[in-house]
Amino acid sequence: MSRLSAPPPAKSVRPAALALLGDIDRPGTLTVGDLRARWEQRHAEVVFDCATSGSRHHRFEGPLLRDVVLDAGPVFDPRRRKDRSRFLLAVAGRDGHHTVLSWAELDADFGDAPVLLATRLDGADLDGAGSQLVVPTDRCGARYISAVTRVWVGAWPPDGG
Ligand X SMILES: Nc1nc2c(c(=O)[nH]1)N[C@H]1C(S)=C(S)[C@@H](COP(=O)(O)O)O[C@H]1N2
CA distances in angstroms from 82 to 24, 50, 53, 101, listed in the order given? 18, 34, 39, 16
From candidates 62, 74, 141, 154, binder to Mo ion by CB under 5 A: 141
Q: Which residues would be at the binding site for ligand X (CB under 6 A)?
A: 50, 53, 56, 93, 95, 97, 141-142, 144-147
Cβ-proximal residues to 149 (8 Å cutoff; 6+ apart), any chain: 16, 17, 18, 19, 92, 93, 94, 130
- Is 47 one of the binding residues for Mo ion (CB under 5 A)? no
Residue of 36, 107, 101, 97 whose CA lies nearest to 70 = 107
Between 18 and 155, CB nearer to ligand X: 18
Asked if 50 touches Mo ion (CB under 5 A), the answer is yes
Bridge partners (DSSP) of residue 134 are 116
What is the closest distance, in whole angstroms, from the C-beta atom of residue 111 to ligand X in the complex?
A: 20
Q: Three-class SS of residue 15?
A: coil
Question: What are the DSSP calls for 66-112, one per residue?
Answer: HHHHHHT-BSS-TT-HHHHTTEEEEEEETTS-EEEEEHHHHSTTTT-
CB of 32 to ligand X, least distance (A): 15
Q: Residue 81 binds what, of ligand X, Mo ion, none (CB under 5 to 8 Å, by partner type)?
A: none
CA–CA separation, 61 and 149 (whole Å): 18
Query: Shortest gap between Cβ of 7 and ligand X (angstroms)?
Result: 32
Identity of the residue, 16 or 155, whose beta carbon is nearer to ligand X in the bound complex: 16
Taking the least distance from each CB to ligand X, the nearer of 70 and 129 is 129
74 binds, among Mo ion, ligand X, none (CB under 5 to 8 A by kind): none
**Among the candidate windows 42-50, 66-74, 97-105, 106-114, which touches Mo ion by CB under 5 A?**
42-50
Note the residues at the interface with Mo ion (CB under 5 A): 50-51, 141
